Structures are given as C-alpha cells and as structure tokens.
Amino acid sequence: MSAKAISEQTGKEFLYKHICTSAAVQNRFRYASVTAETDWERLSREHPWLLTERLVIKPDQLIKRRGKLGLVGINLDLHGVREWFKAHVMRETTVGKAKGVLKNFLIEPFVPHPQEEEFYVCIYATREGDHVLFHHEGGVEVGDVDAKAQRLLVAVDEKLSEEQVTEKLLTHVPDEKKPVLASFIVGLFNLYEDLYFTYLEINPIVVTKDGVYVLDMAAKIDATADYICKAKWGDVEFPPPFGREAYPEEAYIADLDAKSGASLKLTLLNPRGRIWTMVAGGGASVVYSDTICDLGGVDELANYGEYSGAPSEQQTYDYAKTILSLMTREKHTQGKVLIIGGSIANFTNVAATFKGIVRAIKDYQGPLKEHEVTIFVRRGGPNYQEGLRVMGEVGKTTGIPIHVFGTETHMTAIVGMALGHRPIPNQPPMDAHTANFLLNASNSAVTPATTRTASFSDPKTSSEFNPAKKSKADLPAEAQASAGCNGGMEGREKPVLLASPPSVHLPPPSQFCVFPVSPKPMTLFRKQTKAIVWGMQTRAVQGMMDFDYVCSRDEPSVAAMVYPFTGDHKQKFYWGHKEILVPVYKNMADAVKKHPEVDVLISFASLRSAFDSTMESMQYPQIHTIAIIAEGIPEAQTRKIIKMADQKGVSIIGPATVGGIKPGCFKIGNTGGMLDNILASKLYRPGSVAYVSRSGGMSNELNNIISRTTDGVFEGVAIGGDRYPGSTFMDHVLRYQDTPGVKMIIVLGEIGGTEEYKICQGIREGRITKPVVCWCIGTCATMFASEVQFGHAGACANQASETAVAKNQALRDAGAYVPKSFDELGEVIKTVYDDLVANGTIVPAQEVPPPTVPMDYSWARELGLIRKPASFMTSICDERGQELIYAGMPITEVFKEEMGLGGVLGLLWFQRRLPRYACQFIEMCLMVTADHGPAVSGAHNTIVCARAGKDLISSLTSGLLTIGDRFGGALDAAAKQFSKAFDSGMLPMEFVNKMKKDGKLIMGIGHRVKSINNPDMRVQILKDFVKQHFPSTQLLDYALDVEKITTSKKPNLILNVDGFIGVAFVDLLRMCGGFTRDEADEFVEIGALNGIFVLGRSMGFIGHYLDQKRLKQGLYRHPWDDISYVLPEHMSM
C-alpha cells in the first residue's frame, strides 16, 4: 500500500526536523514516549523538563478524538502524569467498533492559552491536487471542519504562497497573527510535499505571542516514497490501527515483501478464528474476504492477505508455512478451513507457487490433521492443471482433506463449500489441459481469413443502443430484488441518492463530455496498432505476438523495444512458426524516430524509473496511449504524470496494472494470461461486452466469466490498484458508451475513492444509456472492527461514501445492475446478455477457429509434454531452485554445519560428506601445497606472464600448464605406483628393486633440497596429523618403509610432500568408511589427487601474479649470462 499512518511522535519529529518557516515553532523535540516498561528515573534524566513543567499525557496509537474520549491528561506534574498513566496503561478501551489496549503514550509540555488562540489546519491529497483546510476555531469542539473550514486547492506541481494563504484561508484571523500563521502554513505545506505526506492534520495549532505550538497531530505518508525520502525519514515504524495488535508474523511477511519483487501481505484479524485464507492476487483477496463475510463468517475470519506477482517457490513456501504455523496453534471445536483461492493468473506459474504450498503442507501435515483442517483450492492461470494435480496428490498422500477446483468453478464457490452453504462436488468437471488448446481444431495449418468487423455481434444502427428496459421480467427472483434497471423502477421505493462528501467534488453532468486540456482518442487500440515495449520483457512480448497471430493480425503489434542498459541490437521472437527479429534501442528517442507508426508505449520500467521514462515518452506527440505496469510509484509522481497526460492528450493505463486487452486487435503485455487462457476465454475475437476493473487478476477472471455467460469480451481494461490511476472508470465507460460494437458494460469497482459516483451521475443524466453491470468489492470492510488496508493501495475508505456498500447502493439506485454479491455477478451478466440477445440488440456470430500457434519448447517441457536427451549430466550441484545445492546439501546447511573448504571439496569432488578429520586433512594439504617459492617452473611462468602485462587468468593458466609428472603431478602417479605394489603383495625392497630394474623413477620419492637429515616440515606436519586421526595408514606405512630403503642409498631420496599426500589420500579414501574399494581406486585413476595440488598451488600462483603487479615489475628478459649458447660449429664459424 502507499498511504500509511504514522504515530504522532514520528510526525512531530519530521516537522521539527525539516520545517522551514519564519514562525517561531516552540517546544521542538520536547516529547517523551512511555510504555509499561519505561524506567521513569532514566526518563527524567534524559528529559529534565519533565521535572520542572506542567505536562500533558495522551495515548499515541492512532486514536481519533482522544480529548472527547477522556484519553488526555492535562496540566499535570510528573507525579500526576505517572498516576494518570498507571490508571490507563494496559487498559482495554473501546474506540468506535474497535477494542484495544492502551500501550504507548506521549508526554509533552502543557501550553496554557485561551480558546481564541486555537486554530485548525489540515492538508490532504486528491487526484487534482492538495487541499489545505483552515478554521479559525480549532480544538476538541472543532466540529464538522469539512463544512466550516476555509479551503484552498493547490494544483499538482504548483506552489503555495503566503499571499494565497492570507487571502483565502485567514479571513477570520486577527491581523497580528496572520503573518505568523501564513508563514507556518506555507512551511507546513512545503514539508508535506518534500516528505511525501498524503495527510497532515494539526488540531489545535496554538499561536501565542511566543510563537507556534503544535499540540495534536495526525499524519500519513506515502510509504512507496521510501527510496526517495530514506535520508530524511530514517527507519519509520508504521503502527497498526487501534484495536489490532502488531504480530511478529506480520512483520516477517512485510520483510519478505520488501525483499521480493512479488507482493506478499498478511494482516491478522482474529488468530483464534477457524477460517483462514491464502489468496493469490490483490483484488481476489478482497473478493474472498467479502464472500466469507457475506456468508456469515466475519467473526471467524482469521486473516487477510495475498501473495501475487509471481513469487518464487521458496517465497510461497515461506508465506504458506507462516499461515499454517499460525492456524495450528489453537484448536477449534468445529475444526478449521483453509481457503487457497485466486483468480486466473496472468503470468504467475501456478504449479511453481503451488509447489511451495505443497512443501509447507507436507511439513505441517501432523498439526493440520490434529487441528482437523480441511483445505479448499481454486485457481487458474499458466500451468494451473499441474498445480491442481500436485495439490490433489498431497491430499491423498497426507490424508488431509483437500478439495481442488479449476476455472470451471466460479472463483468464490469454494467459500460456500467451505462454510457448508453449498455441496462439494464428488468429481468436479475439469477443463482441458493446456496443450489441448494449442491443437488446431480445424486440422488445418492455414490461418483463417478475417471474417469479423469491429464486433463479434452483427453491427447495429445507433437507434438500437438503448438499455434493455424490459429485461427485469427475466431476472431470477433474487436478482430482481437487487439489480437496478434503467427506467424500470416500478414497485420499488424512490431511489435515495447518496450525497457526495464535501471533500469530493463531482463535475456537473454537462462536464462529462468535456475533455481535459487536450482531447484523448476514444479508440485506444485497433488491429493495426503498433507499440514500443520499455524494458527487456521477452516473455510478455512473445505473449503479445502469439496473441497477434491467433487474432490473424497481418503484422506483430510490437514494433520495437527500449532497454537503456545495452546497446542497440535485435531480439529474436517467434511469429507463428517462424522466427523474426525485433529491434532493441538504448533510448526512446531513437525508437520513436525509427518507428513513426507507433502510438502505444507499454512500460515495464521499475517503480524507480517509471516516472522519468513516462514523462520523457509523453514528449513525443506520436504516443497516444501509455500503459505503466509498475506498482509502488509514489502518488505525488503519479499525479504529475496524470497532469501532463491531460495536457498532452495521452491516455494512461496504470500504474500498478497488468494492462488491458481488445480481443482480435491488441493486448498489453501479460494481460489475459497465456495462450491457453486466450483461447479458452475466446479473446482472439471480439464479443459484445466491455469491462473496466481495477485489478489485473480480476480482469482475467472477468474474461472467464464473460466468455462463459456471453458472446465474449469486446475490450477490457484494468486501470490499476493505486489511489490515483492514470485513467478512471468513467474515462473508459464513456469510451464504451460511444463505441458501436459494445452492447453492455461491466464495471468491477472497489472500496476507496469516489469514481463510481460519476457513473451514477452519467446513468441518471442519460449520458450512459447502455446496460451497466457493476459490483464494488470490499464490502467486508464495514464489518471489521478495525481498519484493514487491502492489497491495492487505493482500496481504503477514508469516509462513509467511499465504502463498497455505499457505492453499490448508489449504483443500484441510479439504475445499474448490481448483484447481491460477487457470487451472483455471473448470473446477472448472463441475464442482461440474454435480454439483449432476445430483443435483437446482440446477434451472436458463428465461431471461426483460430490459427495454430506452436508451443514454446521451454513451456512444453514445463508441462511435461516432451522429452529430449540432455546435453550434459551433473550430479554434484543444482542452482535451479531457491537455494544452491552441493551434492544434495543446501548451501545454508553447509554453513550451518561449518563444513569449511574441505567439506565443500568433499561434496563437489567425492559427493560425500567426509568425516571432520578428512576435511581438515584436505585443508592442510591445500595449505602446504599453496606455494614453494618463485623458482619452480609454475611460479616462474606465472611471473613472466604477469610481467608481460597479461591478465590474471592468462598468467595463472600459464603456470598451471607446467604441472605434470615432472612438476607437481606426482600425487596421482605416486598413489598409483605405491597402491599397485602394495596391493600385489610386493615387499618394499622388491618394489624398489623392480623399479630400478625397469629403469623407472619412484614417483613421490626424492627432493632437491630436503633430506633425511634436513626433513621437510610440511611432510612432518601432515604425518603427525595422519597418524593421530586416520583409522588406518597401511599404504603410508608401506611408503615409509620404501623411504627407509631409498634414503639408505642417498639421504635426499625421501618421501616428499607429493608422495606423502598421494599415499595418505589413498588411505583416507579406502579407510574412512565413505567409499567402496572400487570407488576409492576410481578416484585415484581419474586424477582426483592431482586436483589437490592444482587447487592449492593456484593460490600461490595468484599470489605471485598480484605481487608482481603490486611491485610494478616490467617486462622480463632472461639475462644472456644465464644462457649457454651451444650452436653447431659450422654455424658459429
């Protein structure tokens, strides 16, 4: 969400730190926060003014009208404050419908003053700008400030001056106080803008001869602006609404959400409740909560939340295990139900997210059965069939009752099943598999000719675009009681029109046809529409091209892409069966210059860059429509985008949207989901029904409902879930009203805002004459005791008229068709559609099969439809999941077990978890082989390359290439020679004699410098460790016996470090218990032991390279006097 309430202490801290005004702001930073754990002696030392001044104490927990509730202690000394505090702390208090415990309190200096020095000021944001309210009589008895206060609207991107404040707001203020108040209000407004406040109220503000005192303050800030304001805000703590506790699980999910590109939300309503939800999608999560409350489950609803935006399997697992942990802490006499629901996903891989949920269910299967939990699942979207199959399987294997449903079942039908209001089907019908939609039903690969014009229904003359005024006779009894009809008000009470709140100014009906500064096109997309996609979203672009192909477009709708992080190049995509290239540009200027036919921009820019890229794009006159996908753009930036769009005549869809779709013509990004859903919902050809929704996921659900109840979608737009979408419901409803092919209109509104009232006015005034079916989600909000912020930033009612219940009633009274609940939406749509067919307004056309689009290889493999031999096989590492895995061991476990480098080497080289002593031995071997000075051939080569100016990799490689039988490669050879002799039963003396007879060196024996009298300490260190820790050292003992024989002949024929490591490693592999004899011998045979020397010595070679670079050594040239020139005599003469 965006607008979040902050505590009074945080708000005042922001004000005292950052306000810039000539008015003298008194009592700066003179406040103290106290709780039940406060040490009062320490508090007095930190705030000595507590001992000398009269004080005020009040709870700081987002409680309104504290004075009227008797929750303010006034004019007390510190002793009196402590007594007042003791009487109130941890006391349960009722504020409105909310019950909560008083925990956090704020102490401030008491400011004595007469009533006439109290004033009221408030600043709040709306779509068109920021409203400044001022009243000259502030305080507890301020009353209805909306009706009484002076009001000044500061338009978006405009500034407030002291002259404006004095002239418009301070008309009833004594002259001597006007300069101080004017300066303070201007400073307050600048602070409000700079720190991205969305609401800031001070009541009262006291102005005395000494200056300005801010007594009580309430504020909200735009949390999405954290990346802009972090330096000024610091770490902000957002307290929960009064009456709802802050739970650690909520903080945990909020932290997951902050670290993820997905959306993860959790609000605990009643942890002891029996009804729990795990819903995918911001809009869908509200719909499920509505349905639960409508069916009487409000008191048992335990939580509200959502997971959406394609979370990974691990993120979904973390979310699911949190829910399951919470719901299995206390038993319920009736058992519990878990509703895993969601609309039809646009781009989330349902099977992947369900894998995370399935993991969590398996982990909690014991507690779930103990608490008698029954699970109901309904989902659709990419790969949903596999997800549902997996979910059904886990129910069978664990014994947990899990009922699984797909898109054939109405989205909220599982709620009725879970609560016992409707039967559970034994064998629910399943839609065809994803792959079935990709087979050409006509058995022809030829693209069918386009046989349709603008609409799937036959074109009608303009005289036929009147609402179906007689259709009520065909409505079912329940629908008749709840669905309004234009002109059909017989037998009903006269409609009671809801008065608009004072803060919402609806334009008069005559203004509905008046465009903003520049006119905007009524038709956004045609069959020839071309777009630029901002961002490297290849999957979305391929989805658009597949849609274009099944719609029988002549050319792809994507003309180019813009991606600032690479140079200009071309990207490969599929157009039907063949591959095509799409140009990618580094900047927008080049893209629009080279593609003048483009008039649509689809922006996948991040929330941080979306504002700048959108503002730039609107500078190009050819761009008429921009879809902004990003969620989390600060509201102040969105309003600036809207203002410029109005000036330029650009239509904005979004932010925080999946986009929109016009069947047969054009689709934005991932709208409509994957190709199977496009075909199942018949989105490849136009129907007669147009819709507008806030939610992207719910727009796809509408596609499904409309395709099952009517002849299909003509156009659908998801305007986005933010408080200020770039285009409004009314913008699109008016477009649909003026579009001949649209015969009926569907609006899926939601709690928050007042845009739906404009539709009411349009219907009443006759501007909208086509049938409008409308439902506002969020009806459950009025049933909750405390405020709940739903998934969309704009889904929060700031006053009674913004509730879903009030808006549904207003729409019903105005004459729109409004169902009793979302459950009945499909029935009402079908009834209205059938009436339009019956009276001839809609004449359904004959279906024409779409052309075949081949399935992408990657998706076919995901669905398990194909197989192919792998090019590589690996058994040591898997990086595909959420966590890196070494030989079956997650990387977190590697560190948790403190396995060290030796343990990791054991996993990656030997696929074993080696004993601790074996890991230590490996690490010791790496240490003793790390380097042996600059004179050896490998180090010498590395140094020469480094001094020749070569890079690290080249220099290291030149050194490694010298490793072989003569240098460093004796580990393998020594292990093989000694093992063969020992295994054959040959005595050490026989082995020495045989090697001498064969004229072969004994590998691992001999050293240039070290001898029996000057032992190699590296070998001694390793020998002591091996003798102490290895269970058996048969081969090492054999090698040491050989050493006794060879040193008796020559003292430097010792078992050197290479030989020692070779034979000791054979003992380790054979005797540690982790390998069979054949496995141990195989590792020696394939060269594993030489790897120890290569790995260890690489450290030394890199050290030599860095040393030469650090010493800035020049090109090496070998001196002549160190070279013996031995040329043939005839050439030297």
Catalytic machinery residues: 792
Q: Which of 530, 545, 802, 511 is nearest to 669 (CA)?
A: 545
Distance of alpha carbon 997 from alpha carbon 1002, whole angstroms:
12
For the chain, the residue count is 1133
**Ordered DSSP codes for 927-959:** HHTS---SSSHHHHHHHHHHHTT--HHHHHHHH
Chain-centroid distance of CA 344 in Å reads 18
Q: Which of 172, 164, 189, 112 is nearest to 136 (CA)?
A: 172
Residue 854 · residue 445 · CB < 8 Å: no
The DSSP bridge partners found for residue 33 are 106
Q: Which of 73, 84, 69, 184 is nearest to 132 (CA)?
A: 184
Residue 938 · residue 968 · CB < 8 Å: yes
Region of 381 (left: φ > 0; alpha: ψ -120 to 50; beta: rest) is left
Cβ-Cβ contacts under 8 Å for 408 (sequence gap 6 or more): 428, 429, 430, 431
Enter the DSSP assignment of 407.
Answer: T
User: Strands across the sheet with 73-76, in order?
Assistant: 32-34, 105-109, 55-59, 73-76
Phi, psi of 306 (to 5 degrees): -155, 155
Give the pair of three-digit tokens for residue 585: 């540009």
Residue 1052 · residue 1091 · CB < 8 Å: no
Residue 132 · residue 201 · CB < 8 Å: no
Residue 438 · residue 853 · CB < 8 Å: yes
What are the DSSP E strand ranges found in 501-650? 531-534, 558-562, 569-575, 578-585, 600-603, 625-628
Round to the nearest angstrom and report the end-to-end CA distance of the chain.
93
Distance of alpha carbon 1036 from alpha carbon 1028, whole angstroms:
13
Give the pair of three-digit tokens for residue 555: 């050319």
Give the pair of three-digit tokens for residue 598: 């483009």
Q: Which of 84, 83, 73 is nearest to 108 (CA)?
A: 73
Residue 307 · residue 348 · CB < 8 Å: no
Residue 146 · residue 630 · CB < 8 Å: no
Enter the DSSP assignment of 697.
Answer: H
Helices (DSSP H) in 716-796: which residue ranges?
729-737, 755-764
Distance of alpha carbon 536 from alpha carbon 547, whole angstroms:
19
Distance of alpha carbon 773 from alpha carbon 747, whole angstroms:
6
Distance of alpha carbon 229 from alpha carbon 194, whole angstroms:
8
Long-range CB contacts for residues 315-318, cutoff 8 Å, separation at least 24: 315/256, 315/260, 315/262, 315/264, 315/356, 315/882, 316/352, 316/353, 316/354, 316/355, 316/356, 316/357, 317/356, 317/357, 317/359, 317/360, 317/882, 318/256, 318/356
